[in-house]
Amino acid sequence: MSSEEVVLEAVRISAHKPLTSVSPCPDFERITRIINSRVSSLDGQDIGKLSDVLIDLRTGKIAYAVLAEGGFFGRSNVLHAVPWSALKFDGDAKLFHIAATAARVREDTGFQQDAWPNIEDRQWAHSLHRFYNTAPYWEPDAGHS
């Protein structure tokens, strides 16, 4: 089954389940349940929360997560695009771990809500993947969805 078919099947299945249901498969979750999840760095610091997820509609692959750095009353002035492959979900702690220290994440200047980078720019994307030491999601050996 292609990744597009998997995404479409997950959408079809979730459309027929009550919103309060828990996914019967531990490897799948609805985006609405992970938005606002906390994000912890390699050095154990709470560095913000997952505020959005970007899907490449041509491939059906999750490309990036958007991390909202901590702010006043849960509102952040700084957002960071993070390759999806740089994050791992910890089901016991109900949070994401990022494969970087807090200091490293903050080295990325990020962007403002009203000034997103051009996500389709491959030069920007390559730079971001190098920053987080991850393979670009569009490469065949990237090994994630």
pLDDT digit string (tens) for the chain, length 145 residues: 444 444 444 444 434 333 333 455 667 778 888 899 999 999 999 999 999 999 999 989 999 999 998 765 545 579 999 999 999 998 888 899 999 999 999 899 899 989 999 999 999 999 999 999 999 999 887 655 4
Cα gap 111→78, rounded to integer Å: 6
Provide the token pair at 60: 């059906």
Q: How many other C-beta atoms can be found within 10 angstroms of the C-beta atom of residue 86?
A: 21
Q: Name the CATH topology of 29-142.
A: SH3 type barrels. (2.30.30)
Tell me what pLDDT residue 142 has. Answer: 60
For the chain, domain boundaries:
29-142
pTM (predicted TM-score): 0.75
32 φ, ψ (degrees, to nearest 5): -60, -25
What 8-state DSSP symbol labels residue 77?
S
Using DSSP bridges, classify how beta strands 79-83 and 87-90 pair: parallel, antiparallel or unpaired. Answer: unpaired
In Å, what is the CA distance from 62 to each residue of 19, 55, 85, 92?
A: 22, 4, 9, 23
Residue at 104: amino acid letter:
R
